[in-house]
Structure 1
Amino acid sequence: QKGDVFSFSIILEEIVLRGGPYEVAKQFLSTEEILKRVQDRECPSFRPDVSGTDCPHDVKILMEKCWLDSPEDRPTFETIKVNIRTIMKGYCENLMDDLLRRMEQYANNLEALVEEKTDQLSQEKRRSEELLYQVLPRPVAQQLMAGDMVQPEQFECVTVYFSDIVGFTSLCAQSSPMQVVNLLNDLYSTFDRVIGAYDVYKVETIGDAYMVVSGLPERNGDNHAREICKMALAILEAVQSFTIQHKPDAQLKVRIGIHSGPVCAGVVGQKMPHYCLFGDTVNTASRMESTGQPLRIHVSHETKKILDKFETFDLELRGDVELKGKGPVTTYWLLYCSEPPRGAMSPQNLSDNAETYPYPLIFPELTINK
């Protein structure tokens, strides 16, 4: 029927604009107002507003012919089919082919979109993993990411390092808050670069205190004492050449304390999980630091006994020191390590006139031929 042709033109408008009948006019007129204007047979007739950019020109012409005011002027469906085939000839042979083509395009676009989103998800996952690895030891972080519970674990012997800035309170009083933040950021960034060369894990920084441990979460035999002490010597070298940006003439001084013994370690908290150490060993290491002296490495007798096995560390007896809760204990000063550089250089490769200098700035060791 001729009325069906008019209905077809309105359906075609809905397809083109992806909306309801008279989609554009509905923004300004009510449904009743639209019906009245159509019934009034205005001149020119009131029809949907379809822009030439909304669809191909041939489709727009066909649509306008189908909604002509006079039914006799409208094309028949046979004519419409011929026109549609002519319009679609450049795309496909029939409507089913066109439908399949559109579905294939949609699938390809969807596949590309999924691939893009998957890549973004992978990048975000890598960033999250790297952030977690900075907060927790890698084996512990991997357990958490796998959805496993990290059980507290007892370690028979590890070595704990503590250091803090001598006179930090007075330094803060002479500095602005931003200067203090910049100082700690510069100093701890230097420390972080140093400890990267050793088998150690930075537990935390609290104010001016810096805590490091070796021997967990992966055990390394007696190497924990050697790793911490070599790291401490490297940090001491770095501190001696460290420049305070807002006080370039001042010499930064730190105290360092080291102790070896058993600890219990585990992840505490859920919103902000933290890998914590518990036990008397931690307290003793902190006491070793607080009873030490500026720019010196204070070592307990327990750590000294382990270092003696390597025969490469030079320690000086300090004597008995009163530690809170323990009474007098024998302690030592760590002076240097005579081990050769790591890597390709081995003891047998050193020439007879080579001298090993202990710990230049940041690098663990340096051998210089005279």
Structure 2
Amino acid sequence: DGSAHGPWPCKPLWDTCASHPRAAILPAHLHCLPVPCWHGDWVWLKKFPGDKHTEIKPATKTSFCKLRDLRHENVNLFLGFFYDCGVFAIVSEHCSRGSLEDLIRNEDMKLDWMFKSSLLIDLIKGMKYLHHRDVVHGRLKSRNCVVDGRFVLKVTDHGFNELLEAQKIPHEPPRPEERFWTAPELLRDPTLERKGTFRGDIYSISIIMQEVICRSAPYCMLDMPADEIIRKVAKPPPLCRPSVSVDQAPLECIQLMKQCWCEQPERRPTINQIFDQFKNINKGRKTNIIDSMLRMLEQYSSNLEDLIRERTEELEIEKQKTDKLLTQMLPPSVAQALKMGTPVEPEYFEEVTLYFSDIVGFTTISAMSEPIEVVDLLNDLYTLFDAIIGSHDVYKVETIGDAYMVASGLPHRNGNRHAGEIANMSLDILSAVGSFRMRHMPEVPVRIRIGLHSGPCVAGVVGLTMPRYCLFGDTVNTASRMESTGLPYRIHVNIRTVTILHSLKEGFKLDIRGKTELKVLVPLTPDPQPLLARPCPPALPVPLTPDPQPLPWPRPLPCPLSLGHAPSSMATPPLRTS
């Protein structure tokens, strides 16, 4: 009922934990553990088996009094016991760094020999105190050794077997992996195993020494199941023990460890002998708690700095990957503005040149191919295009199906060079497509048509979830029409782009195509009758050839020279005008 028992007032600690203002700041890794808050401090609950305890027996209270009087810096403090609604548990001091098992398994924590020896000497001091008080631990393992915030090791769970015996609680057989620390003579005698012995505690110390020295689980070097290991330990020969390399610890420490796990209990050293031998291992160096704590704190601080530096470098690498991916999707200036939370206003560009291209007969190719083959085709083709545009002052706007859109003159203005950049890029793409082959249909050539147009447009970012950098204006529509009315393997160019190319004087060769019907927008006249769309006149008044068939294509194409160096007689694919 949560009433007081002896000198320890023990109301339900779970209710205390839930209502206490500090309960909300319990460390994240402890939320799933029995760590309530009692009188403003975190405490540890060790629950007894079963949930139908009806009374606290007198022998149990006597054992509690014995535990209460144990006071040592390396023995975890016993605070009281909890009894409510049939649940019975002991309350002990909580250590913030968890168990010794947690510490040695933490790969981020670097443990040198001085650090390890400080932990081991704390263990030996704590067990020496308990043995001098005639207390047999009986359950000693790395999980029952806790480390506080100052890296001081404290022995806990002592006296638990005695409490189980006093309270007449049925014994629950432990799992095989929980018996690694149990001495062979105890494994062979279940009754003796339940009570424990002083010599059995010495054996447990040796297994903990192996864990600390190797920073690994007991018997981790033996490739066999836990129950098989326990069977071999309990029934020698041959003798089954962990193996430790001589370069992992001083030779004297390894020899002491082997003495402690000797098969004959009477040949194992006493806790006083272990303490004396271990003091001599450090060869006169101080191992008092203050010096050890300072060294451990310095080591911990250094480890923390290294860990922060390592994590910062990893974060910077991931940030660079994210920035690179973002700048591939959006212009760098726009991406930077979005990262800073700055609104991106639409921007008007007086004159840019736009490029559109698509695959001729793509619908037929798609009908004859599997979906994955279509994806491979577009990926291979666009990878080829992306490699080409990297050497020109252009910006890839988007791809929609088989349509590929590129612009020059935005988002960074480049005078009137935009037309020349797009023209040279178009020639490079056309030349590369001539030798491109589909994986699944290598005998079928890939034919593309290209349309170019120059003019004003507005660019801006549209959307929040998946923002896109989009272009708007008649120039976009006209460039798309130039592509859709073009011919395979030809570059269809509007007169406005032709004018800019002539002004650049870079030796581009252009052929007049002639009349081509396009869909156009016309203003309404006072006459409400709709006007008929008229065919666009040719760019220059030149007669059509008798046979207006497209020129044979593809044909071998030389690589275009750099801007400003292409001679007027250079053999380049003709750019068509309308």
User: For the superposition of Structure 1 and Structure 2, which TM-score range results when normalised by the shorter chain?
Assistant: 0.7 to 0.9
Distance 1:37 1:355, change over 3 A: farther
Structure 1 Cα separation of the partners of residues 165 and 347 of structure 2: 77
Letter in 2 for 1:193: A
Q: Which amino acid aligns with 1:329?
A: C
Give the letter for the 1:129 counterpart. Answer: D
1:358 aligns with 2:489: no
Match of 1:95 in 2: 289
In the alignment, structure 1 residue 52 sits paired with structure 2 residue 206? yes
- Specify the structure having the higher radius of gyration (Cα): 2
Structure 1 residues 229-238 or 313-322, which shifts more?
A: 313-322
State the alpha-carbon separation in 2 of the partners of residues 282 and 267 from structure 1: 16
User: In the alignment, which residue of structure 1 is the partner of 2:519?
Assistant: 324
Equivalent residue for 2:490? 296
Query: What letter matches 2:465 in structure 1?
Result: K
Deviation at 1:236, TM superposition (A): 0.9
Secondary structure of the 1:306 match is: helix
Partner of 2:561: 341
Q: Report Cα offsets for 1:314-345 as digits up to 9, x if no partner.
A: 21222232221244334669x9x9997239xx
| 1:54-84 CA-partner distances (Å, limit 9, x unpaired) | 2487999xxxxxxxxxxxx998xxx999999
Q: Contact 1:165 / 1:252 at 8 angstroms: preserved in 2?
A: yes
Q: Give the whole-Å Cα distance in 1 for the aligned partners of 2:343 and 2:571.
A: 46
| Superposition map of 1:275-314 within 5 A | 275-311=469-505, 312-314=507-509
1:22 alignment partner AA = D
Quickly say closer, same or farther: Cα 1:53–1:316, change in 2 above 3 A. same
Deviation at 1:97, TM superposition (A): 1.4
**Aligned match of 2:438 in 241, 244, 255?**
244
Aligned-pair CA distance for 1:94: 3.3
* CA distance 1:35–1:310, shift in 2 (3 Å): farther
Deviations 1:201-230 (A, max 9, x none): 111111110000010010001111111111
1:21 to 150, 153, 156: 156
* Separation in 2, partners of 1:105, 1:33: 41
Normalised TM-score (structure 2): 0.50
Higher RCO (CA-CA < 8 Å; seq separation 6+): 1
- For residues 157 and 69 of structure 2, the distance between their equivalents in structure 1, rounded to whole angstroms, comes to 16
Distance 2:284 2:536 in 1: 94
Q: Does 1:120 align with 2:314?
A: yes
Specify whether residues 80 and 253 from structure 1 end up closer, same or farther in structure 2 by C-alpha distance, changes over 3 A only: closer
Q: Secondary structure at the match of 2:514?
A: strand
Alpha-carbon distance change, 148 to 89 in structure 1, aligned in 2, over 3 angstroms: farther
Contact 2:351 2:456 in 1 (8 A): yes
d(CA) in 1 for partners of 2:447 and 2:325? 31
Rounded to whole Å, the distance in 1 between the matches of 2:167 and 2:284 is: 40
> Larger % of strand: which?
1
AA aligned to 1:185 is: N
The alpha-carbon deviation at position 159 of structure 1 amounts to: 0.7
State the Cα distance separating 1:139 from its structure 2 match: 2.1
What do residues 125-169 of structure 1 show as CA deviations (whole Å, max 9, x unaligned)?
Answer: 111111111111122222223332221111111111100011110
Percent identical: 45
The superposition leaves residues 164-207 of structure 1 with CA deviations (integer Å, 9 ceiling, x where unpaired) of 01111011111111111111111111111111110001111111
Task: Tell me how far apart the structure 1 counterparts of residues 420 and 165 of structure 2 sit (CA, whole Å).
Answer: 88
Match of 1:69 in 2: none
* 3-state SS, counterpart of residue 358 of structure 1: coil
CA gap 1:93/1:104 in 2 versus in 1, 3 angstroms? same
SS in 1 for 2:492: strand
Aligned partners of 1:37 and 1:6: how far apart in 2?
23
Runs of 5+ consecutive residues of structure 2 not aligned to the other structure:
1-65, 77-125, 128-139, 147-154, 170-190, 213-252, 258-269, 522-532, 541-550, 552-556, 574-578
**Aligned residues of 1:300 and 1:330 also touching (Cα < 8 A):** no
- Whether the aligned pair in 2 keeps the contact of 1:5 and 1:74 (CA below 8 Å) is no
Q: Which ranges of structure 1 fall in alignment gaps of 5 or more residues?
A: 61-72, 360-370
C-alpha distance in structure 1 between counterparts of 2:344 and 2:276, whole Å: 72
- 2:510 aligned partner: 315
The one-letter code sitting in structure 2 at the alignment partner of 1:209 is A
Question: d(CA) in 2 for partners of 1:319 and 1:34?
Answer: 107
Deviation at 1:87, TM superposition (A): 7.2
Cα deviation for residue 111 of structure 1 reads 1.1
**AA aligned opposite 2:164:** E
Name the SS for the 1:227 alignment partner: helix
For 2:344 and 2:413, the matched residues in 1 are separated by 16
Q: Deviations over 1:280-305 (max 9, x none)?
A: 11111111111111111111111111
- What is the distance in 2 between the residues matched to 1:239 and 1:276? 27
1:24-83: CA deviation from partner (whole Å, max 9, x where unpaired): x97xx8x95265489xxx9685479644232487999xxxxxxxxxxxx998xxx99999
Q: What amino acid is the match of 1:169? A: T
8 Å contact kept, 2:357–2:448: yes
User: How far apart, CA to CA, are the structure 2 residues paired with 1:244 and 1:104?
Assistant: 63
The partner residue of 1:182 within 365, 373, 376 is 376
Written as runs of structure 1 = structure 2, the 5 A alignment for 1:165-176 is: 165-176=359-370
Q: Which amino acid aligns with 2:314?
A: Q
Cα-to-partner distance string for 1:223-276 (whole Å, 9 max, x where unaligned): 111111111111111111111222222121111111111111111122222111
| Secondary structure in structure 2 of the residue aligned to 1:52 | helix
